[in-house]
A = this chain, B = another copy of it.
Amino acid sequence: MEGIDIQLYDRKIIEREVEAFVYDPSCGGIVSFVGKVRDATQNKQVLRLEFESYEPMAIKEMRKIAQQVLERWSVKKIAIHHRIGVLQIEDTAVVISVSAPHRKDAFVACQYAIDTLKETVPIWKKEIFEDGEVWVAAHP
Contact = CB atoms under 8 A, between A and B. Distances in A.
A11 interface: no
Interface stretch (A32-40, A50-58, A77-85): A32-40
B19 A16 contact: no
A25 interface: yes
Copies in the complex: 2
A3 interface: no
A53 B27 CA distance: 24
A106 B15 CA distance: 18
23 contacts: A15-B15, A25-B38, A26-B38, A26-B39, A26-B40, A28-B36, A28-B38, A29-B33, A29-B114, A30-B33, A30-B34, A31-B32, A31-B33, A31-B34, A31-B110, A32-B32, A32-B34, A33-B107, A35-B103, A38-B101, A103-B111, A107-B107, A107-B110
